[in-house]
Copies of this chain bind each other. A is one copy, B any other.
Amino acid sequence: MLRLSKKTEYALIALKDIALNSRIQLMTAREISENHQVPRDLLAKILQTLTHHSIIRSVQGAKGGYILNKPVEEITLLGLIEILDGPAGLMECSLPEPVNCTYLDTCSIRCQLALLNQKILAMLQGITLRHFLRNELKAVLG
């Protein structure tokens, strides 16, 4: 399946919200969840994961919440996907780590697909939260 995970979708939605409020106040998981009808507990876990990776910063306790912890142009779509879903790659054998592909030596498509893989990953890495905030994706994708 060639699809973004819900985690990544929710992360993008949340980060956009957080970014738009970062200079004003902290955003809570509850607020984001209610703003966009996203499952709260799941969103909370996503935000925790993003916190671990220093994408955002969390403040605990009452009046707590989340705030951005990185410049928006340093938060890439590929980065989010890899943080939330693990290493990205069109095929097992195009992942950074070598894998147990039992037919590597008789595989006739690996090299060609590797090129496509590189192309797509590069595209995803070129897309940042900044582009989402400014609706600039069209320009980036040219």
Contacts and interface: CB of A to CB of B under 8 A. Distances in A.
A3 interface: yes
A123 interface: yes
A12 B103 contact: no
Contact of A103 (B37, B81, B89, B109): B37
A103 B132 CA distance: 18
In the assembly, how many copies of this chain are there? 2
B112 A131 contact: yes
A116 interface: yes
A137 interface: yes
A115 interface: yes
Contact of A9 (B89, B91, B138): B91
Contact of A90 (B4, B35, B37, B119): B4
Classify chain A's interface size. 35 or more
A115 B136 CA distance: 10
The residue in A38, A85, A108 that gathers the most chain B C-beta atoms within 10 A of its C-beta is: A108
A140 B82 CA distance: 27
A16 interface: yes
Contacts of A137: 112-113, 115-116
A13 B103 CA distance: 11
- Report, nearest first, the 3 A-B pairs whose CB atoms are least far apart: A37-B103, A112-B137, A119-B141
